[in-house]
Structures are given as structure tokens and as C-alpha cells.
A and B are shown apart, each in its own frame.
Chain A
Amino acid sequence: MADGADRTPVLRLDQVVKDYGVGEARTRVLHGVDFTLQRGEFAALMGPSGSGKSTLLNIMGLLDPPTSGKVFVAGQDTSVLDDDALTRYRGRALGFVFQFHHLLPEFSALENVMLPMAADRGRLDDSMRECGSVLLDLVGLSKKRDARVTQLSGGQAQRVAIARSLAMNPQVVLADEPTGNLDTQTSDDVFSLLREVNLKQNVTFLVVTHDPRMAERCDRVVELVDGRIVSDRRQEARR
């Protein structure tokens, strides 16, 4: 058991099946996946290309509904929520970090961090500004608050994306190859930041990665092959 994990399930998949296509072209991408993530965990999701990692991540992120099976986030059965409720719940309960930072280029670093708060409350106000500044402080970018996204380096942009994912104080942050697009040194820094946030703020992380070096630094490694979890082991993370 890693530091911080307290055996409260924050994310639970129950027999999740996902099919794509219809009729003859129908293919099963996920074959009844059961999976539970506990509060404070820092887990890696690994697997070869085409194993269904992204599909699984989208289902966990409430971006894509499962064909059958259920997804519980903080105990809430998400299959009973309609589109608007699901969107609101997703905004509040989940944070996302993508391989490419996917910040909105029209907005400043601070405004990008404020986005989930503004979307949730339907308006922008000064309290969000303060909250966003604190998060930018946390990722070490307080000096870049008002910088345009286009003026940031890859590592800086990814830090802003991490700050954005934390804006609503989410139950889980889902990170899809967050360092996949960065050089080794920057990758290490960004990964260290994620880990630091996990330990200090007790934020739960699920990180999709191809990089065994990154996986070594996680408390738990889940391996997905051909739409099935083939191994799920807890480990002492390398610091």
C-alpha cells in the first residue's frame, strides 16, 4: 500500500464491455474489464498499441459510454446520468491531462486553468483568478500567468495542463501519455510534478504510459492486452 492510498474506491469499473462498429464489422475492444482505483493511488496503465488503453481511458473519463457494464466515480453510478448531468459530473469529478497539452491557444495560461471552474459556474469571477494563480504557483509557473499558450515551452504547457486538470479538485486525474511528447529531462520534471501533486494533495492519478521508466515510479501497474487486464501489480515506487 502506497502512501496516501486509503482503500476508498474513487473509480470503479464493473464488467465494462466496449464494442465498435455494427453488424459484421462489430469488434469488441474491451472484454468485461473490472477495475478499481483507490483514493490517493498513483497507477500506471500500460499495454501495446491497440490494446484498448485509450478506449478504457475515455470510458473512465466519462467521454465515451461503455456498451455494457458500469462506471462508478466516487460511488456514483454514472450510467444513470443524462448528457448534461454527466458533463457537469465529469467537470467536477475528473481532471484530464493529454499527450499534447491541448490548451486553448486563444487564452492565457491562467485563463486555461480557470476554464473548468468557469464552465462549471457558467461565469468568470475573481475568486477563480485567485484559485488559478495558486494552481499555477503549485506547478511552478506563477511568472507565466498572463503568457499566451503559444509563448510557452512544451514542458511549461504541460504544467499548465496539469494545473487545469486540478482546477475542480477532482476525484481522479486521468493522464494519457502526459510526457509522451517531451524530451527526457522535461519528462522527468513533469512526471515528478505529477507525483508531487499526488503525494502532497492526495490526488488520485491514472497515467497511461509506454515508458517503463515512468511505470517504475508508480505505486501500481496495470497491464492491458487485447482488451483484457492481464496483470495488476502493486509495487514500491522508485523515487
Chain B
Amino acid sequence: MNTLAGCIQAIGLVGPGFTDWSAARAVLSGEVPYVPARTVLAPPAVLPPAERRRAGRVIKIALAVGAEAAAQGAADVRTLPTVFTSSGGDGDNCHEICVTLASGDRQISPTRFHNSVHNAAAGYWSIAYGCTEGSTSLCAGDASFGAGLLEALAQLACGAAAVLLLAYDADYPPPLHAKRPIPDAFGTALLLTRAEETAALARLQIRLSDAAAATMQNPELESLRALIPAARSLPLLQRVAQRRGGTVVLDYLGDVRLAVELQP
């Protein structure tokens, strides 16, 4: 089987205790200790005021990590295809709709309804940046990061020069939170180009594998990896932060995992 390959040119990251990739890189490479803190999400400056006010947590985190990776990689976002992947979409919005539909007055707000689609973040992204390229929005439950990485690399294999992968999840409010206990919001974006380019951060190749998945040594980071689907990327991101090559196995679908071979 041919492997899928690409180059990581830039990374965006926001999560518990991480304000951006450079903060995360310092922690993951071991330069500074990890200090857990609730994820801070800024209103997306790129959206018009009305949309900015109404943007939910998943839209905020997707736009934040995507903007960081695109800026770091000096990418032209107007012509950049995007792959959005998330295990659940906007949980707060979903909760509000379910509460309204279970009440005596079922009239849900039009904005809540169009924000309920899984590709809402992708829609806002394309409008904000005037990007008319193809964009997809995926969900593979706990396997969503792996599914997004496969799709992004397949797009490169089929001729795309560059692809922006955005993987993100946010926590549900109660009562859904008890059934889907994602502890906090976490997102990462990878600006990927074709394998024959010069890689700013790392070159990677992936294939399906049944080897055991890598875990994080730090128990708090391991807890993020175990509980937030987008944070299944952490062992890969740690290798990139450490500028270390070799193979790292990521959790994907149950017994099916992704072996990622990295070359710094």
C-alpha cells in the first residue's frame, strides 16, 4: 500500500493551558512545565460584529487555530482548501435547540438553526476569508483527528498544493456533558503541503497500523489526549516540538491506528 505523505509547514494550537502553538511547543518540548488552565477563547476578530457576538466555542477555536497556522505559514487563505474535523460540533447550541424543542414553544431561532450544522465553522471561515476553494467538514467521533489527517493527505496526493487541516472539539454543557465528558475545548491546525516541498517543521508519512498507540508521559496531558478527540494529535505534536524523527502511533478507530513516520 502506498503511504500518504506531506509536510507540516505551520501549526496552530489552543487548548487547556495553551494560548498558541509557541506556548504549546515550549511545554511539549520540555522547556517549561505544563500548567493546566481553562481554555481561553477570544471572539474571532475576523468576523463582523454580529457574527462575532454569536460565535460559539467551536467556531471560536476553529477560527483561532486556523488563523494561527495560516499566518505562521504565510499561506494565502483565499485559495487554500480546508479540512475541518470535529467529534461533535457546537454542543451549547445543540443543547439550546433541544431545550427549546422539548418546551411548550418550539420556535427555534434561525441563527441557532444555521449554526447547528457541523460545517458552521467552515462556513464562517470561507466567508471571513473569501475562500471559494472546496472545504469539507468531517466527523469520526473519537477518530476525528485521524480522519481529518487522512483526508488532508489524500487531497495532497490528488494534486492539491497545500491543505489546511483544522481539528477541534469543545465541551458539552449538562446534561449532555455527562454522556460525552469532554473536559474543555482543544483545537489544532496543521498547514500541510506536498511531500516534495521543503518542510518548515516536519515531513510525515502515515499508514494504518495495529501497533499500540503512543501516550503522553505527563498525566495531565495524557488525560487531554484520552478525553478530547482533537488532542489525540498530542503525541505527534510533541515529536514536532522536540524536532525528533521516528514513528509515532496515534489512536484512530478502535483497533485501527495511524502510524505516523516523522522526519524533522
A binds B: no
Interface residues of A (CB under 8 A from B): none
